[in-house]
Amino acid sequence: MIIVSAPSGAGKSTIVKHLLNAGLNLAFSVSATSRPIRPGEVNGREYHFISVEKFKEMIKANLLLEWQEVYPDNYYGTLITEVDRIHSQEQFPIFDVDVVGGLNIKKTYGDKALAMFIQPPSVEILEQRLRARATDSEASLKKRLQKVRWEMEFARKFDVVIINDILENALMDAEKHARSFLEK
């Protein structure tokens, strides 16, 4: 399996989309979240949108491979059924998850998982990217930026660190690492 993690806005979703289209027999593991659905998102495509109460029930029932309360009552996690679904199709799961979630999946699967950390060229450039997305309120944006420096400290715990400065180079680097790992 391939784990792609990064601070919000560093480009992990773009890299995951590229890897899904690179002919590597990967299937996207749709994460679950209790955050509100954003305009243009579809339940079951970007995320499985679940109420806070149901998410807490799923945690108690051990139905999640990993989970995090990223912000108060704002949960993210990986459903065990997603991994089972992908394996039943004889494909390799690819995860687009937060930094802590990525490390938790890596801890569970060890050498059977390649954990990639996508690092922005700088915190300032990351802030520009987040502002350009215009998906968060100013208060939410400030919370995300406070978390960025903390998340960046985890980079050294990943198998591979890819600096997303020039997108084409980051895409090729991620594909090279994923292809090499899956061919073992």
pLDDT tens for 14-73 read 999 999 999 999 999 999 999 999 999 999 998 999 999 999 999 999 999 999 897 789
pTM of the model: 0.88
For the chain, domains (ranges, CATH) are 2-182 (3.40.50.300)
What's the rounded Cα separation, in Å, for the pair 65 and 160? 22
* Contact yes or no for 103/153 (Cβ under 8 A): no
pLDDT tens for 86-129 read 999 999 999 999 899 999 999 999 999 999 999 998 888 888 87
What's the rounded Cα separation, in Å, for the pair 145 and 24? 33
